Amino acid sequence: MARKTKAKSSKSRPIYVLNGPNLNLLGMREPEVYGRTTLAEIRALVTERAKAGGYAVTFRQTNHEGELVDWLQEAREKAAGVILNAGGYSHTSVAILDAARALAQPLIEVHLSNPYSRERYRRHSFVSEAADGVICGLGARGYSAAMDALIAMLKDAAP
């Protein structure tokens, strides 16, 4: 589902990178699945990538579904685009899907692991139904790929 960015210059708006439950434990929790890179290291990586592309980053993590919904709603007015790793909520949250569908900005979904090679219940993502792109299975590099892709999408959509 392609989205059109608002007419206001997207470069004046940050890219939101939103992270869901348990991602604060990256590097410690199941490193054989999620890798050893910490969320702080991912934040530094995407901030550098965004800066090189001319964007600032608003980077957040929460373990609470409603807070992710609030941030997605905030992004409608304040973000150039969104990178979302909703964690386990990807597979369960219609509320996050609805908030993601309300975005006019591009949305890229990120998963550190490959959900298709894991448990059956992980193979469906509600977020994917609203995302312009999905990157999975690349570990922390998936965030870099998402940032590069999102910046390219914003550039392509610029007037």
Pairing of strands 81-85, 15-19: parallel
pLDDT of 8 reads: 47
Quick check: pTM over 0.95?
Answer: no
For each of the domains in the chain, give its residue range(s) and CATH number, in order of start: 16-40+59-157 (3.40.50.9100)
Tokens matching residue 99: 């908030």
pLDDT at 30 over 90: no
Q: pLDDT: is 47 or 114 the higher one?
A: 47
Closest CA to 19 of 80, 82, 91, 95: 82
Active site residues: 34, 111
